[in-house]
Amino acid sequence: GHDFERTGGGAKGKAGQVSLGEVDRRLAARLAAKLRGRYSDADAELEALEALGIRVCDATKRWRADGEAFGSGYERTVGDGDEDVPALDTAPIEQLLLARARAKQARDFGKADALRGELRAAHSVIVDDQRRAWRRVRLYGDYYRVGPRVGKAEPKIGKLLTTLSQAASGERAALLEELGAMGVQVDEGRGTWRRPRRTPEELAAAAALRGEAESK
C-alpha cells in the first residue's frame, strides 16, 4: 500500500485513461523502493506517473489527475517585513517555493539551497521547513531579526548591521563589540540577530557605558 490520498477534480487528458488500480500500484511501488533505498527506482515510478498525467505532492501526501498544479505546501506566517510591503505579490514566491520543493523531491539539494538563497535575497523571505511555513523579514544587509521586537533602538541596530555586512574583516570586531554593548547577539553563520529582553541591571549597566562614552 501507500499513504497518499487523491485530491482535486475529475481526471483530465491522459489521466482519464488511467485506472485507480494502476495509480495505487505505482504509488505503492514508489514507496517500497524509497524504503529500500532504491531511489532511482522510486524516481522512475514518479516519472511514469507524471507521464500518465498524475501529479504527486510529497509534502501533503496527495495525488491528483485533474491537470492542476499543487501549491508549495508552505503557509505564510507573520513577519516583521510585512509592513514594508503591505500588498505583497506572493505569486513569484510561491513559484520559487514550488520549484524548491521539486528540487528537494528530486534530491537536487544544491538547487534547493540556491532557491532558498534567491527567496531570501530577492524577496526577503525566510523558509521554515520544520513548520512548513515562510515569512517576509526585514533584512539589514545580511541579517534578519529573530526573537522579540526591540522598539526604538532598531534603526540604530539596523544601521550597524548593514555596515557590518559590508565591513572589511579588520572592522568587524569593533562593530560586533558595539552591537554587543547594546545587548545584540549576532549569529553570523545563520545571518540572524536578536536582542533578548534585558533585566533592569543590564539596562543600568548599558546606560552607564553610554554615559562614559559621551563624557570622553
Residue 177 pLDDT > 90: yes
Q: What is the mean pLDDT of the chain?
A: 90
pLDDT category of residue 206 using cuts at 50, 70 and 90: low
What pLDDT does residue 212 have?
Answer: 67
pTM, rounded to two decimals: 0.67
- Transcribe 130-187 into DSSP letters: TTTEEEE--EETTEEE-SS--GGGHHHHHHHHHHHHH--HHHHHHHHHHHHHTT-EEE
Residue 197 pLDDT > 90: no
What pLDDT does residue 145 have?
Answer: 95
Amino acid identity of residue 133, one-letter, is A
Of 127 and 208, more confident: 127
The 10s digit of each residue's pLDDT in 102-121 is 888 778 999 999 999 999 99
Residue 6 pLDDT > 90: yes
The alpha carbon of 197 is separated from its chain's Cα centroid by a whole number of angstroms, namely 26
The 10s digit of each residue's pLDDT in 8-46 is 899 999 999 999 999 999 999 999 999 999 999 999 999
- Write the CA distances from 113 to 1, 108, 110, 118, 216, integer angstroms: 32, 9, 5, 9, 48
d(CA 76, CA 134): 5
d(CA 20, CA 6): 10
What pLDDT does residue 216 have?
Answer: 62
Q: Which three cell numbers stand for residue 197?
A: 529582553
The 10s digit of each residue's pLDDT in 140-169 is 999 999 988 888 999 999 999 999 999 999
